Amino acid sequence: MHKRHFIYACVMVLLASPVAAMAKQSDWLVVTLYPSQGVYSAPELSKLVPTIESLWTLTDDKQRTFIRNIDSLATENTIVAQGDSVRFRRLIEQRELTDTGLKTLKGIVDAHPLLQRRLADETGESLNIWVELKYHYSKAEQRKLLDKVTAELQTQYQSCMLANHGALAGMSLQSVNLEPIEKAASLDVFHLLEKTSSQYGKGAVQNYSAVDLLSILNRSMNPNQEITSSDQIEQLYMIAESVRSRHLHALASPSFKRFKLMRVIKSGAAFPQLSGFNMTHRNNWSADQSNYQTLECRPDVLLTQSE
């Protein structure tokens, strides 16, 4: 795999039927998994894919499947660029789980604005499984669903211990929805959003916006060319959309008139005032005992804690 071939990841669109009590954007269940051999191990990643697939059939007390979407290394897909052409492929491919492929995969995740820290830590010890709920549940109901998720994971990771602490303990996933105050060319809005995203990301362990996705796509296809025109932004957006980039669609409208900024930050961090945009909505997911759990599988840690 060539490092330029992998430019950004996007989750495939997974649509749910409309219901009366839809979940809020902040309704997530998250499990941090510490695989026994580390994240970037061929056996561990081979096990992860079918394990994540098995979660989709889980049901709540009303016998409804309750998962709208899953964000994880096993569900991410990659846009592969070669010259002026692009194609769409899974992030984890069995034939690529070689020593070289695993090293390249870690480099992709560590460098990618949407994947780093949110889906896997930089040490390669842990990964996060984000389960987005279809419906709105109380804290007590969320805990029951979280127990179902972790119980299903334990069918594959049997020699592991559950805990309520981990990489996301004390952290929040925050987002703000924005609209430009004034009409402007896409390039001008792009630069304003770039500045605003930087301001929003102060103090965060991770932050990203449509600017990051468009920039990384452009760097891969045009290594020596910056984004310098509104037409260029439109072309990049169309390329991403042609290979089903749900991430870009969620972070910016095709008209480039609505945006979302995301960040992972310590719980309790205030939403800053952002100039040049109207803030139309904001969401905050904070890890607590109802929505967050850790599955610890590292032999040395398990041995230490059993002594």
Mean pLDDT by 10 residues, the chain (307 residues): 42 36 80 96 95 96 96 83 66 90 91 88 95 95 97 93 88 94 92 94 93 86 86 88 74 90 94 91 93 94 73
Predicted pLDDT at 303: 78
Within 13 A of 158's CA, how many CA atoms are on the CB side?
A: 2
CA dihedral 222, 213, 50, 99 (to 10 degrees): 40
Are the beta carbons of 92 and 74 closer than 8 angstroms? yes
Are the beta carbons of 210 and 259 closer than 8 angstroms? yes
Query: Per the structure block, which two tokens stand in for 68?
Result: 């709208």
CA-based nearest residue to 242, from 116, 92, 84:
84
- Which helix or strand (DSSP H or E) is residue 282 part of? strand 277-286
Predicted pLDDT at 243: 61
Alpha carbons 66 and 69: distance in angstroms, whole number: 9
CA-based nearest residue to 41, from 129, 118, 120:
120
Query: Per the structure block, which two tokens stand in for 206?
Result: 């991770």
Strands of 76-82's sheet in order across: 6-11, 76-82, 85-90
Triad 195, 8, 53: Cα angle to 5°? 125
Are the beta carbons of 9 and 110 closer than 8 angstroms? no
Predicted pLDDT at 83: 61
Are the beta carbons of 169 and 287 closer than 8 angstroms? yes
Query: Per the structure block, which two tokens stand in for 130?
Result: 């984000």
Alpha carbons 189 and 276: distance in angstroms, whole number: 9
- End-to-end, the C-alpha distance of the chain in Å comes to 43
Predicted pLDDT at 77: 76
Predicted pLDDT at 17: 35
Predicted pLDDT at 115: 87
Alpha carbons 110 and 128: distance in angstroms, whole number: 14
Tell me how far apart the 2 most distant CA atoms of the chain are, in Å.
64
Alpha carbons 262 and 282: distance in angstroms, whole number: 10
Are the beta carbons of 153 and 31 closer than 8 angstroms? yes
Within 13 A of 7's CA, how many CA atoms are on the CB side?
A: 28
Predicted pLDDT at 84: 64
Q: Give me the count of residues in the chain.
A: 307
